[in-house]
Amino acid sequence: MNSQPNTATNLMAQLALVPAVEATVEATAKSTEGGILTAKSTEGGILTAIVKSTEGEILSNYFIETCRTVLPVLDKLGPSMAVIRSDIGGNIQRLEEICGSGKSEYKFLYEIVRKEAAEGTAKKPLSCTRAILWLTRAMDFSVVLLRDLMEQPEWSLKQAVEHAYNITLKQWHGWISAAAFKVGLKLIPEREKFIGLLGDMKGDTEKFISVLPPVLQENHKFLQSLRLDRLKSS
């Protein structure tokens, strides 16, 4: 049986372990959002929507929708992941409130951050910058968890969840959030039950962990460039 990897492993290195998808990228649709880019495999099948415009900017609405796709997976974990799921839902709602205003300045994800940084509000507790940062971290957690479940068949679900948490969210959580996670960890179902509940979602899982990591890495680098990547929770 393989032992659980060192939890100090760098997150960027972990995300880089996700197999690259051999794909060509082309614009397949244009809308008021500026166009959706999709990745196509060499076999011609669309893998998943990438959250960028034809200009290469990450689109706010499509990033939100991509984050939303992980919620059904976390639901299968039951009450054990209630805290993380609640955080994702709350941060999605916060971004939706401003993106739904129709203002062009909220069309691109990084413009939201730049605006708040210029106004001096980016680090405030209810800023959209914090929402973007925490959604990115939650997607880091989801990618590592799903990848580990595919690559480490001998691990229990609890091992996989704990490993993903330790290298993605743990260092950013204060004692309240960390304590809530520990309580949830005791409610983790058996691996076989969880896999059974996922049913036919394996194909979607493979797409998710193949396409999303480069977007997450880009988010981290951008937030780091503005020194907004070290914000913690209580």
Per-residue pLDDT tens for 197-227? 877 777 777 888 888 899 999 999 999 999 9
pLDDT level of residue 143 (50, 70, 90 thresholds):
very high
Comparing 112 with 150, which gets the higher pLDDT?
112
Q: Average pLDDT in the 135-139 region?
A: 96
pLDDT averaged over the chain? 79
pLDDT score, position 97? 92
Predicted pLDDT of residue 161: 95
Reading across the β-sheet that carries 36-41, which strands appear in turn?
A: 23-29, 36-41, 46-50
Tokens matching residue 200:
């036919």
Contact 125, 76 (CB under 8 A): no
Quick one: average pLDDT of 119-144? 96
User: What pLDDT, on the 0 to 100 scale, is given for residue 198?
Assistant: 79
Task: Please compute the mean of the pLDDT values over residues 142-147 and round it to a whole number.
Answer: 93
What does the pLDDT read at residue 204?
Answer: 76
5 vs 25: which has the higher pLDDT: 5
All domains in the chain, ordered by first residue? 13-225 (1.10.3520.10)
Which has the higher per-residue pLDDT, 81 or 49?
81
Helices (H), the chain: 11-16, 60-68, 71-75, 82-99, 109-119, 128-151, 157-168, 175-185, 191-198, 202-225
Mean pLDDT of the 155-178 span: 93
**Higher per-residue confidence, 197 vs 115:** 115
